[in-house]
Amino acid sequence: MANEKNNFQKQQAASKDTKRMVIVNGVRLAYEIHGTGEIPLVLVHGGFESRRAWDLVVPHLADSFRVLTYDQRGYGESERPSGQTGIRENVGDLAALIEHLGLGPAWVVGQSSGGNIVLRSAAKRPDLLRGIIAHEPAFPSLLADDPATTPLIEGFTQLLAEVTERLASGDRAGAAEQFVEEGLGEGLWKKFPPWFKQMVIENTPASLDEGNDPEDFAFDPEWIRGFTRPVLLTLGDQTAPIFPPVITKLAEAMPSAEVQELTGAGHPIMVEQPEDFAEAINDFVRRHTK
């Protein structure tokens, strides 16, 4: 934990010099580039987060890659446009950012709804991707035809409705804690370091958009069957029950995809097992780089 805290402090100090702003698709996005490696690697954060979510992971990747982290529209220090924002806009922003910075084709990593964006991007703009790594994408719609998982979907849907209602009422802290405790694992909120909790609470307004976007958690496996580049799907052995069957459905749609389970990790792997996750990324990219 001490090493992780030191890595975070170093990353925070470095961010003062590396943060930049760019306008893509009419929205100002905050981003950082770390490392001088030749291989571009883009990290896409999940809901309730910002680019800060990757601060413990980046130090383990910066020696091997040119790492891009960024705040999605509405999150962190990026502009929050008026009106509804959803996954279509986020997919478009990712593509535009890669193109604007001249990083394509890049390796792209996403966690949670960031994994949703990465997989939708693989279907929409495969030309920009060398390969993808997705940690526990949030696609409960993939389980809709399986009676065994109906209780999981109903519980997830109910939780999202309750969290969205609390966000709409202005209860940011309560909504954030409820989502983590009931959706990701009881007792997990207390384990988060203070900086991570604060990040989650601060980014709840953007997550309200996700809750109101009917497409955000939807995915058709047919969209991805034609993606022929390397794919790694990861999950933690301590994760919430809804994520393993989603990984199974995605793996069935992409027979060439690799699946890796990480010991002692759950959904927020970037803060729970940052070094192990970075090692999994490094190993996968290394094996698939000629």
In tens, the pLDDT along 44-61 reads 999 999 999 999 999 999
Instruction: Calculate mean pLDDT across residues 158-171.
Output: 90
User: What pLDDT, on the 0 to 100 scale, is given for residue 212?
Assistant: 73
Lowest mean pLDDT among 14-18, 130-134, 172-176, 211-215: 14-18
How is residue 288 annotated by DSSP?
Answer: T
Neighbours of 242 (CB within 10 A): 22
User: Distance (Å, rounded) from C-alpha 194 to C-alpha 222?
Assistant: 41
Instruction: Calculate mean pLDDT across residues 134-142.
Output: 94
The pair of structure tokens assigned to 20 is: 């930049």
Topology (CATH level 3) of domain 2-141+214-287: Rossmann fold (3.40.50)
In tens, the pLDDT along 230-244 reads 999 999 999 999 999
The overall average pLDDT reported for the chain is 91
Instruction: Calculate mean pLDDT across residues 220-228.
Output: 92
CB of 236 closer than 8 Å to CB of 230 = no
User: What pLDDT, on the 0 to 100 scale, is given for residue 2?
Assistant: 45
Confidence of residue 215 (pLDDT cuts 50, 70, 90): confident
In tens, the pLDDT along 107-128 reads 999 999 999 999 999 999 999 9
CB of 94 closer than 8 Å to CB of 121 = yes
Instruction: Calculate mean pLDDT across residues 3-25.
Output: 65
Is 8 a residue whose pLDDT tops 50? no
How is residue 52 annotated by DSSP?
Answer: G
Domain range annotation of the chain: 2-141+214-287
User: Distance (Å, rounded) from C-alpha 179 to C-alpha 162?
Assistant: 9
User: What pLDDT, on the 0 to 100 scale, is given for residue 3?
Assistant: 53
Record the pTM. 0.92
Greater pLDDT, 2 or 95:
95
